[in-house]
Structure 1
Amino acid sequence: MDSGERPNWAPVDVDLARPSIARVYDYWLGGAHNFAIDRAVADKVLADVPVIKSIVLNHRAFLRRAVRFLLAQGIRQFLDLGSGIPTVGNVHEIAQATDPGARVVYVDVDAVAVAHSRAILTGNELVSVLQADVRDAKQVLKSPEVQELLDFSQPIGVLMIALLHFVPDSEDPRGIVADYRDALPDGSYLTISHAGYEEGDWDPAWDDAKQVYNRGVSEMCFRRKHEVQALFEGFDLVEPGVARLPLWRPESPDDVDEDAARFISFGGVGRKA
């Protein structure tokens, strides 16, 4: 889509001449909700950090597997925090393919992502979009979008996909998770994917790539496996626990390549007992 053409899903108050991180991610995911300016930024980052597309696709593949797992456990309502633009196999598509009555609330602080999301999801009464800072759990949880669509007497699946690595330790990511945990009914689930690596895994060649990503997209905080595990305090981790993304319940051997054991992101799902 050329940046000079405004399709019917692009709200009139969104500046098509300015890149959006949400649309950059949409482009990396193979989506259609992006413009020339977004693709230019995305391609520049890809030229310097070719592995970024594989990383983004692995986070999305993990999301799909995790949502299907939650559906198999009977979860029918989801709170997707830091959702971006809900396209290309996102939560409502997966959930409502299994159960048309499944409910989803998407939350993002990015006005561009929210505006696009609302336009795309018009007419789907079981999906809501909230513009809010996910770090403020009280604001999110008391919002009409959440209160009117989600039933807190029944288990809820909370999703934090590629989110918490943008929250530095100074902003207390464990405390943020705990605020959501404490509001959830027993039997609810938490799903997290997070950039990270173990000692000895880091390739010095990635240092330049990390700097390019931080400058061109957003600054990221890598955490070790035990630090990601600590985010699940108060939840019982399901098998295989916190694992490299390609190794968390792969759907086929083809999903696991020779670099899976050193993949620079972790994922896990925990149940509140």
Structure 2
Amino acid sequence: MPVPSHPAGSTSDPTTPPFPGLDISSAAQPSLSDTALKVAARQWTPPPLDLENVHPARVRDHFLGGDQAFALDREWCAQATHLVPTLPRTYRDERDFLHRAIRFASRQGHIHRFLVLGAGLPYTRPIHDDVLPHPRGMVVYADHDEYVTAHVRLVEPELPQIAAVRGDFLEPGTIFFDDAVRTLLRHGSPIGLVLTGVLETVADTDQATTALRCYTERLPAGSVVIATHATVEGLDAGDTADATLAEHRRILCDTYGRTAHRPPQHLRTTEELRQILGCLRLIPPGITHTSAWHNPRLAHGDRPVESLCLAAVAHLRRPRTPPSSAGHLRSVDGGTR
């Protein structure tokens, strides 16, 4: 596993306030009790292991340049790329964004522990490459799919700082009360919650908003949420090529569930993603396309809209602090919270 250079500032004292100037007073009382989440978790029925159909995690690995895909996965990827030629870029830009966002959280917020939902297989350009070089680095990968968690457990003996949890985003109790997550949260230091390809599988925006709130209410003060979401926003409906790309992306989303034997994907706009993240304070530049978020390598003339994926990094909201306080990180609407 390649070991990147250690980001500046990430070796700071653990008592240093994350994101200097940000109010990290205690969180509000949870809207749903732990007991309610535990009861729901006990009633959750995980999906059966499926080795005979196209698998989203292997599809992601293939588009990222990995070698885990089966023949049927590669065939699906070829057909999907023929329909949506920018699809390989969608996966690459999303992973590039995740690495930039994790380095940002480490450098600016002294965050070195991450709970990752929906990242896929742990082999090709894994998130933990940017986390484990830090002495306090730890990553817990959570997924509802036994295929994914089994692969994470295969590499656990070599990388004891990572762990696998089988649970469902919509059933937070299946994740939050696992021993590995309890260990992640034990010291009360900020963590990063990563949501990759998760929100777009939830059809109901209100349901996604409620589920995310159950997580953010229980995260330590100073934590951040890193999220991506499929979209066709920004494409020009008056341009034939853009209109065709948008229509084909919608077709692919509609057929994704039937082809990959998973829930269909749902496209959302910036405002719809903002609604889901409503309990959070967006870090500038706010919600953008993945390739545009803090990307110094974005080429002149590049079209971030072709990423077909939105990205955001956000703080947990905290009670308003006195206006005279100095050094507050400003929210994207220009105000302080």
TM-score bin, normalised by smaller chain? 0.7 to 0.9
- Normalized against structure 2, the TM-score is what? 0.70
Stretch deviating more after TM superposition (71-80 or 41-50):
41-50
In the alignment, the residues of structure 1 paired with residue 53 and residue 265 of structure 2 have an alpha-carbon distance, to the nearest angstrom, of 22
Corresponding position of 1:10: none
In the alignment, the residues of structure 1 paired with residue 248 and residue 276 of structure 2 have an alpha-carbon distance, to the nearest angstrom, of 28
Cα distance, 1:164 vs structure 2:
0.4
Corresponding position of 1:75: 111
In the alignment, the residues of structure 2 paired with residue 232 and residue 258 of structure 1 have an alpha-carbon distance, to the nearest angstrom, of 27
Summarize deviations over 1:136-165 as a string: whole Å, max 9, x none: 112210111211333351111000122201
Structure 2 contact 152–163 (Cα < 8 Å) conserved: no
1:227 aligns with 2:263: no
Cα distance, 1:36 vs structure 2:
2.4
Corresponding position of 2:304: 260
Q: CA RMSD in A?
A: 2.3
In the alignment, the residues of structure 2 paired with residue 261 and residue 37 of structure 1 have an alpha-carbon distance, to the nearest angstrom, of 29
Structure 1 contact 103–150 (Cα < 8 Å) conserved: no
1:204 aligns with 2:243: yes
Corresponding position of 2:335: none
Corresponding position of 1:94: 130
Cα distance, 1:209 vs structure 2:
4.0
Corresponding position of 2:191: 156
Matches within 5 A, 1:5-24: 18-24=53-59
In the alignment, the residues of structure 2 paired with residue 130 and residue 212 of structure 1 have an alpha-carbon distance, to the nearest angstrom, of 29
Cα distance, 1:93 vs structure 2:
1.1
In the alignment, the residues of structure 1 paired with residue 127 and residue 217 of structure 2 have an alpha-carbon distance, to the nearest angstrom, of 23
Cα distance, 1:270 vs structure 2:
0.7
Aligned residues: 259
Matches within 5 A, 1:157-196: 157-169=192-204, 172-196=207-231
Cα distance, 1:241 vs structure 2:
0.9
In the alignment, the residues of structure 1 paired with residue 220 and residue 52 of structure 2 have an alpha-carbon distance, to the nearest angstrom, of 44
In the alignment, the residues of structure 2 paired with residue 210 and residue 230 of structure 1 have an alpha-carbon distance, to the nearest angstrom, of 21
In the alignment, the residues of structure 1 paired with residue 232 and residue 67 of structure 2 have an alpha-carbon distance, to the nearest angstrom, of 32
In the alignment, the residues of structure 2 paired with residue 60 and residue 200 of structure 1 have an alpha-carbon distance, to the nearest angstrom, of 21
Cα distance, 1:74 vs structure 2:
0.3
1:123 aligns with 2:167: no
Summarize deviations over 1:104-159 as a string: whole Å, max 9, x none: 10011112111122113333211101111121112210111211333351111000
Cα distance, 1:263 vs structure 2:
4.3
Structure 1 contact 197–225 (Cα < 8 Å) conserved: no
Cα distance, 1:188 vs structure 2:
0.4
Corresponding position of 2:62: 27
In the alignment, the residues of structure 2 paired with residue 29 and residue 229 of structure 1 have an alpha-carbon distance, to the nearest angstrom, of 27
Stretch deviating more after TM superposition (68-77 or 166-175):
166-175
SS at match of 2:132: helix
* 1:244–1:259 Cα change, 3 Å: same
* 1:21–1:253 Cα change, 3 Å: closer
| Structure whose CA Rg is larger | 2
1:244 to 289, 304, 308: 289
In the alignment, the residues of structure 1 paired with residue 222 and residue 215 of structure 2 have an alpha-carbon distance, to the nearest angstrom, of 14
Provide the identity percentage. Answer: 26
Task: Structure 1: give runs of 5+ residues left out of the alignment.
Answer: 1-13
Task: Structure 2: give runs of 5+ residues left out of the alignment.
Answer: 1-48, 319-337
Cα distance, 1:262 vs structure 2:
5.9
